[in-house]
Structure 1
Amino acid sequence: MTSTHDIVGKLWALCHVLRDDGVSYSEYVTELTYLLFLKMLAEVPDQNGKLREERLPEAYRWSRLAKLEGEEQLRHYRQMMIDLGKPDVKDELVRAIFTDAQTRLKRPANLKTLTTNIGQLDWFSAREDGLGSLYEGLLQKNAEDKKSGAGQYFTPRPLIDCIVRLMKPQPGETVQDPAAGTAGFLVAADRFVKDATDDLYELNEAQAFFQRHHALCGAELVTDTHRLCMMNLLLHGIEGGVDNIDTLSPDGEALAKADVILTNPPFGTKKGGGRPTRNDFSVTADTSNKQLAFVEHIVRALKTGGRTAVVVPDNVLFEDNTGRRLRTWLMDLCDLHTILRLPTGIFYAQGVKTNVLFFRRGPTDKANTKAVWVYDMRANMPAFGKTRPLTVADFSDFEAAYGDDPNGKAARKSQGEVGRWKSFSRAAIKDRNDNLDIAWLRDTEAEAEEALTEPEDIAAAIIGHLKAALEEIETLSEELEVGDEVAIVAEAAE
């Protein structure tokens, strides 16, 4: 929407004002979140028609802050952050936004520039378009700017929307994202339900309350990202639901069992080589590979019959030892019916190769996967990047092949050796030692990367390859360490 796009552009342009104050791009978005939170509470009524700013003390409302000048305004702003983030603040959302909050602003003039410009924006048009859309636009702008480093927390919107359309979350279902980032999946799932229910008006009061307060849940470990997540949920009419916790710790065991899990977990290993500390983990208890551990969480967090779509890097499909045990266990407990091989270049790190796993928790613990359908969206695809962004249309053929059933039970037809869509029986996969890194088309990734023309895209591709190589080295080192430990224990036992 033009007005939203214009407002996002104006907000983003303000970051240049702050660069001389030592404020980075990602810090700028966090700074904006504090101020936009105050302003939006003054602009947006709640379900009962009351302005949301009534949840704030009068001294810390937008009107009070905006009137102040110079050093007095900056001192007031700093004190407000301390007071609103204290543990005794009763409003959970306010506390979540301001927990450990601190301003990076040093010059009173810069704070005044922000409050003045924010106050002058076309808030009527913003409300008409939806303040949530405005904030999402700001998050996307931050993720697209490679200097911000925020791309690791932002899954491309066309991919999110494709996944949600296929998984079809329904009213009354619990949707979880155990690595919520800025809440892209949860917001899209909520929007899908609202679009199907006339913005919840087709639901009764109890059902609508459940949708707003309990249908969405999840976790986000990084405090600043959790802050952005809570703000995004608020502006889409969703109260809370995402905890600032580590899913791979015992806190993750308390997450509600889910009908649907949609997520793009972080890649790489836990800092310091730490292992998950979950008491209920068995398959991945001895690995620091986070993406493997998140897959175990998903399987355990799904209700019987629950469904998921999870973004994973290639090594989840082919890694031996823990990786192979995890895949075998997964295919026993769940029906892994579909794998989408994603093109390179659609995430912040250009060289990272990713996939989406679609599976359903089975009624028993054995032999739930009968066959796996694989769609290769990687081979012979355009060089995605700044000059060729990913679009909704790029997923149309895959969505047609997937079918209307969210559990992969629609009638499907293989496209053969020259097509992108093929089925592989469980027996055939077993013959591959449960290696799911299946490709039959010539992968032209090298040619695609040669076609990159933007220096930022080329640099990102190189960095991505280096990161992927380092992760493989870390994983190999870890497996060798585990092997040594096992050998030592065995020798001691003898």
Structure 2
Amino acid sequence: MGNQQIVQKLWNLCNVLRDDGITYHQYVTELTYLLFLKMMKETDNEGAIPEEYRWDSLINIHGLELKKHYQTLLIDLANEGNEVLQQIYTNAKTNIDEPKNLEKIVRSIEELDWYSAKEEGLGDLYEGLLEKNASETKSGAGQYFTPRVLIDEIVKLVNPQPGERCNDPAAGTFGFMIAADRHVRQQTDDYFDLGEKEAEFQKNKAFTGVELVKDTHRLALMNAMLHDIQGEITLGDTLSEVGKSMKNYDVIMTNPPFGTKQGGERPTRDDLTFATTNKQLNFLQHIYRALKPNGEARAAVILPDNVLFESGTGAKIREDLMDKCNLHTILRLPTGIFYAQGVKTNVLFFTRGTTDKNNTEDIWVYDLRTNMPKFGKRTPLNEKHFEPFVKAYESEDRASVKDDRFNVFTRDEIQKKDNSLDIGLIADESLSVYENLPEPIDSAEEAIAKLEQAVGLLNEVVTELREVENGTNNVGTTGEKSKVAETAEVTGNE
């Protein structure tokens, strides 16, 4: 049994809990509590867990006794000295009311093919669960889940290297950093090409993040642990005082939450130059300021369209970005790739300069949105859709790229448009059917002329038919077209 089948089996267990009124998101959180214990057993890492709360303690008892034991376990593990245990189980509580449902889930987890799961990777199994959760639009989980293919393409282009400090200030389930870790492992034979200190740095310090939502933070911790990443994942708000100490990163990759700060509040930190309630604009300020000013530190950030064109403070922030960084590429993403349908997003790729002025000269924009398929569950976005963009992005001479979707704009052109970055969208073919239509006035006048002609011909038809009735008209005997036929042609009738 492969991980995909295991994920489906685990997911189907959610049906057991419907009578308990449990949401998909609550179910994944509940699974995290249980899977942590099971996976610690499977990987021989139960040492930090008190013996009375290890996985086997759950499979040897039943009914109400099991439920009481499980409730006690959740409380006590949060108070253990082990930091990972505390973080996974802090404020943990069960949403399962029926003891028989809890027992069914425990038994089902125990019966899964864990040998195959370990062979394919427990981290991949868990990520599969998170992806399944995000695809359930009713769960609201899509708000923190970025499509895997998009993450992988961004990581490939940003190309994090061994020894670099990577960060996601809106970490979600830690997908960007896990993909970055995978990318570096592939370059270094799973870190075996590195020295002992360098490998230790990669596992313990290279990949960090911040997540605001407690349950999502718990999922991120579990995800990182199963991928053997021990970098710090802070529970907090990057737009608060927490974010002030986040500096000098080599790489930042992130998908900040959409919307405005709750209640229209401004961020509580005082080191952002431009005050706004727009979350994405504040995250954007944080990101380009948190990069090392060494000419090499780089970022890729997913942002909605409004960030590209919002006036006032938005224009000032974009100008500051283009001054401090080389904003070299914007990818206009297709709609339908996020689970919030209709959201229009973009990826901004930029490199922090060594100075704070005039780092952006030209911006290349790739339109992957216009005239693209309608993406969704039936037509998922895949790697092939990105191939033309990747080819253009990696070209040593971008000006030589023959692709109508790839266009360049100078800083002067952008400044004349109030620093708007809402640029580079090509002509929409779905609108081309209207391009050759005549002007409305001309169409109306032509229609009136035809109607007048038709009325005149109808009058003549009436006269002609009367003559036929009276036997005074030999219609069709001379080869001439009758008025009936002419009228049919004008009015379009047969």
TM-score band w.r.t. shorter chain: 0.7 to 0.9
Q: Structure 1 residues 231 and 440 mapped into 2: Cα distance closer, same or farther (>3 Å)?
A: closer
What is the distance in 2 between the residues matched to 1:301 and 1:414?
A: 34
CA apart distance, 1:392: 1.0
SS of 1:352's equivalent in the other structure is coil
C-alpha separation in 2, matches of 1:335 and 1:112 = 56
Tell me by how many angstroms 1:411 deviates: 2.3
Kept in 1, the 8 Å contact 2:176–2:254? The answer is: yes
- AA aligned to 1:200 is Y
Q: Which residue of 1 aligns with 2:272?
A: 281
Query: Residue 190 of structure 2: which of 199, 204, 209 is its match?
Result: 199
How far the C-alpha of 1:254 sits from its partner, in A, is 2.1
Write out per-residue CA displacement over residues 356-384 of structure 1, whole angstroms, 9 at most, x where no aligned residue.
00000100010000100000001100000
1:440, CA displacement in angstroms? 4.2
**Residues 444-485 of structure 1: CA deviation (Å, up to 9, x unaligned):** 6899xxxxxxxxxxxxxxxxxxxxxxxxxxxxxxxxxxxxxx
Q: Tell me what 1:306 maps to.
A: 297
Residue 47 of structure 2 corresponds to residue 54 of structure 1: yes
Contact 1:217 1:256 in 2 (8 A): no
Deviations along 1:393-432, one digit per CA (max 9) or x if unpaired, are 110110000007xxxxx3212657x700011111111111
Indicate the SS of the match to 2:107. Answer: helix
Aligned-residue offset at 1:439: 3.2
Calculate the TM-score normalised by the size of structure 1.
0.85
Of the candidates 337, 360, 365, which is equivalent to residue 374 of structure 1? Answer: 365
Matched-pair contact (CA < 8 Å) for 2:33–2:89: yes
User: Aligned pair 1:108/2:88, yes or no?
Assistant: no
State the alpha-carbon separation in 2 of the partners of residues 445 and 147 from structure 1: 31
State the Cα RMSD in Å.
Answer: 1.5
Contact 2:247 2:289 in 1 (8 A): no
Post-superposition shift, 1:149?
1.3
Give the C-alpha shift of residue 202 in structure 1. 0.8
Question: Do the aligned residues in 1 keep the contact of 2:209 with 2:233 (CA within 8 Å)?
Answer: yes
How far the C-alpha of 1:91 sits from its partner, in A, is 1.7
Structure 1 position 347, deviation (Å): 0.4
1:245-324 matched pairs, under 5 angstroms: 245-283=236-274, 285=275, 287-304=276-293, 305-324=296-315
Partners of 1:57 and 1:303 in 2: CA distance? 43
| Structural mapping, 1:68-147, within 5 Å | 68-86=61-79, 89-147=80-138
| Ranges in structure 1 where 5+ consecutive residues have no aligned partner | 45-50, 405-409, 448-494
Using the size of structure 2 for normalisation, the TM-score is 0.85
Contact 2:331 2:368 (C-alpha < 8 Å) held by counterparts: yes
Q: 1:335 is paired with a residue of what secondary structure? A: strand
1:18 aligns with 2:17: yes
Deviation at 1:309, TM superposition (A): 0.2
Is contact 1:344–1:445 with CA below 8 Å preserved after alignment? no
Alpha-carbon separation, structure 2, partners of 1:93 and 1:397: 43
Q: Secondary structure at the match of 1:388?
A: coil
Contact 1:217 1:255 in 2 (8 A): no
Aligned residues: 430
Verify: 1:36 aligned to 2:27, yes or no. no
Counterpart of 1:243 in 2: which secondary structure? strand
| Rounded Cα–Cα distance in structure 2 between residues aligned with 1:218 and 1:139 | 18
The 2-side partners of 1:289 and 1:425 are apart by: 27
Matching residue of 1:432? 417
The alignment-based identity, stated in percent, is 56
Distance 2:410 2:82 in 1: 53
Task: Give per-residue Cα distances to partners, 1:282-325, cap 9 Å, x unaligned.
Answer: 12x2x111000000110111112310000000011000011000
Q: Note the 1:150-229 alignment, pairs <5 A.
A: 150-229=141-220
| 2:57 aligned to which of 59, 64, 78 | 64
Question: Does 1:411 pair with 2:410?
Answer: no
Secondary structure in 2 matching 1:27: helix
Equivalents in 1 of 2:68, 2:431: separation in Å?
Answer: 54
Matched, 1:365 2:356: yes
User: What residue identity is the alignment partner of 1:295?
Assistant: L
Q: Does the residue aligned with 2:327 lie in a helix, a strand or coil?
A: strand
Residue 257 of structure 1: how far off its partner (Å):
2.6
Alignment of 1:443-454 (within 5 A): 443=428
Specify the SS of the correspondent of 2:167: strand
Matched to 1:70, the amino acid is G
**1:273 Cα deviation (Å)?**
1.0
- Using the alignment, how far apart are the partners of 1:95 and 1:411 within structure 2? 52
Structure 2 unaligned runs (5+)?
433-494
Specify which of 328, 335, 338 is matched with residue 347 of structure 1. 338
CA distances 1:325-377 after superposition (whole Å, capped 9, x unpaired): 00000000000000000000000111110000000010001000010000000
Letter in 1 for 2:408: S
1:90 Cα deviation (Å)?
A: 2.3
**Structure 1 counterpart of 2:328:** 337
SS in 1 for 2:46: helix
Letter in 2 for 1:302: L
2:221 paired with 1:230: yes
Residues 419-428 or 76-85, more deviating: 76-85
Equivalent in the alignment of 2:407: 422
Instruction: Quote the offset at 1:9 in angstroms.
Output: 0.6
Letter in 2 for 1:13: N
User: Which residue is equivalent to 2:483?
Assistant: none
C-alpha distance in 2 between matches for 1:366 and 1:137: 44
Alignment CA distance shift 1:444-1:179 (3 Å): farther
Report the Cα distance in structure 2 between the residues aligned to 1:216 and 1:440, rounded to whole angstroms: 35
Q: Counterpart amino acid of 1:202?
A: D
Equivalence for 1:483: none
Distance 1:414 1:295, change over 3 A: farther
**Structure-2 change in CA distance of 1:236 and 1:398 (3 Å):** same
Q: Please list the CA deviations of residues 207-257 of structure 1 after superposition, one character each: whole Å capped at 9, or x if unmatched.
A: 111000000111000000000000000110111421111000001112253
Would the alpha carbon gap of residues 440 and 313 (structure 1) be closer, same or farther in structure 2, given more than 3 Å must change? closer
Letter in 2 for 1:139: L
Read off the aligned partner of 2:302 and give its amino acid letter.
Answer: V
Structure 2 distance, partners of 1:11, 1:221, is 27
Deviation track 1:107-135 (CA, whole Å, cap 9, x = no partner) reads 11011001100000000000000001100
The residue identity in structure 2 corresponding to 1:442 is A
Residues 146, 338 of structure 2: 8 Å contact kept: yes
Taking structure 1 as reference, are residues 115 and 218 closer, same or farther at Cα in structure 2, changes over 3 Å only?
same
- 2: distance between equivalents of 1:347 and 1:191? 23
